[in-house]
């Protein structure tokens, strides 16, 4: 009787499919309206499930977090499929720098605001901050939590731009 599927297995499959559908709908809603503008009703309208099922994620914030986790999980999955060969091929890219430009622009705007209000010193630059932020994503995803914490410690030690003496 290898062709018989138990009701529990069928429900599990349906639950996973529903979860994926909700995450896809929420991702589209958040991308279109932003976090503040996204509505749970709008997300529910994009799915074939009830609004009540969306609260499986607990709250709008919980759902947004789950959408981000799914996006990063997919990015990491795609990187593994590509087998990036320690950056050998990426170093030849003429367009890779363009991909980080939007993030650097946002970081630079934030840093400028911090410098203007005296909360950030001038020696913190956008590229260094981008590397610092990225370390929170890259090291844990690669299973190198200790390395990630050493980067954080190096950036936030007393006398460094983000350390107690450097923050002004």
Share of the chain above pLDDT 70, in %: 63
Q: Which domain holds residue 64?
A: 7-83
Q: Quick one: 111 and 76 in the same domain?
A: no
| Residues 17-76 pLDDT 10s | 999 999 999 999 999 999 899 999 999 999 998 888 998 899 999 999 999 999 888 877
163, part of any domain: no
Mean pLDDT of the chain: 75
Counted domains in the chain: 2
Q: Examine the pLDDT at 10 and tell me if it is beyond 70.
A: no
pTM: 0.52
| pLDDT grade for 6, boundaries at 50, 70 and 90 | very low
Q: Quick one: 135 and 116 in the same domain?
A: yes
**Three-class secondary structure assignment of 47-82:** CCCCHHHHHHHCCHHHHHHHHHHHHHHHHHHHHHHH
- Mean pLDDT for 11-16 is 72
Q: Quick one: 43 and 108 in the same domain?
A: no
Q: Examine the pLDDT at 7 and tell me if it is beyond 70.
A: no
* Sequence-distant (≥ 6) Cβ neighbours of residue 35 within 8 angstroms: 60, 64
Q: Quick one: 128 and 78 in the same domain?
A: no
pLDDT score at 163: 55
Q: Quick one: 68 and 99 in the same domain?
A: no
């Amino acid at each position: 009787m290898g062709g018989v599927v138990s009701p529990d297995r069928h429900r599990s499959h349906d639950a996973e499919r529903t979860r994926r559908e909700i995450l896809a709908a929420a991702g589209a809603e958040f991308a279109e309206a932003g976090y503040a503008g996204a509505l749970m009703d709008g997300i529910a309208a994009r799915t074939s499930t009830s609004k009540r099922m969306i609260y499986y994620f607990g709250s709008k914030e919980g759902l947004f977090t789950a959408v981000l986790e799914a996006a990063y999980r997919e990015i990491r999955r795609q990187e593994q499929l590509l087998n990036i060969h320690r950056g050998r091929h990426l170093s030849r890219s003429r367009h890779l720098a363009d991909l980080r430009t939007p993030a650097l622009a946002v970081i630079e705007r934030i840093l400028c605001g911090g410098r203007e209000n005296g909360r950030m010193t001038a020696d913190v630059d956008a590229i260094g901050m981008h590397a610092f932020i990225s370390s929170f994503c890259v090291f844990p995803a690669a299973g190198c939590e200790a390395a990630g914490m050493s980067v954080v410690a190096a950036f936030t030690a007393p006398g460094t731009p983000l350390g107690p003496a450097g923050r002004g």
